[in-house]
Amino acid sequence: MSDEILSPYDALIYIMVLVSAADSDMTDSELQRIGDVVRTMPVFTDFDENELIPTAQRCAETLGRDNGLELVLDKIVASLPARLAETAYAVGCDIAAVDLHVEAEEARLLQMLRDRLDLDRLVAAAIERGARARHMTL
């Protein structure tokens, strides 16, 4: 693992970028949702929105290295306080749910994240269901 320690904000953004990129197709709706999450979720109240793009770029650079996914997951887990584990999983689920279809790669990444964050399966299922419900359309 790199010596770089992420801020909790960075870790949450890295999660959203990871989920968006998991199926090799970062859609406009996913990118827009990442911006919406940063602008509206209370956990980002003190975050400088101008740092969103540079933070996402750092994540992409790390992903491009050898063993990049493992490096990013290690950094995320090392940087997040345990009390934000559910919030972290929720932001990932929100990005996966944007298009109302979770690709296999996104589902696998969410499973890896759930395991790394040591989330209870029932808690994770409730978060997943809530994300899907929030993104339903008529």
Q: Using CA atoms, how far apart are residues 81 and 8, in angstroms rounded to an integer?
A: 7
In this prediction, the residues of the chain whose per-residue pLDDT falls under 70 are 1-3
Sign of CA dihedral 67, 70, 73, 74: negative
- The predicted model scores a pTM of 0.92
What is the pLDDT, as a whole number, of residue 1? 45
Question: What is the rounded CA–CA span in Å between residue 81 and residue 89?
Answer: 13
- CB–CB of 92/15 below 8 Å? yes
Q: How many CB atoms lie within 10 A of CB 115?
A: 11
Annotate 86-113 with DSSP letters as a single string. HHHHHHHHHHHHTTS---HHHHHHHHHH
Which amino acid is it at 28? D
The domain ranges of the chain are: 8-134
Token digits for 97?
């749910």
CATH 1.10.3470 for domain 8-134: no
Give the integer Cα–Cα distance in Å for 19 and 95.
7
Helix axes 85-97, 8-21, angle to 10 degrees: 30
Q: Give the pLDDT confidence score for residue 3 in this predicted structure.
A: 59
Residue carrying the six token digits 């790394």? 116
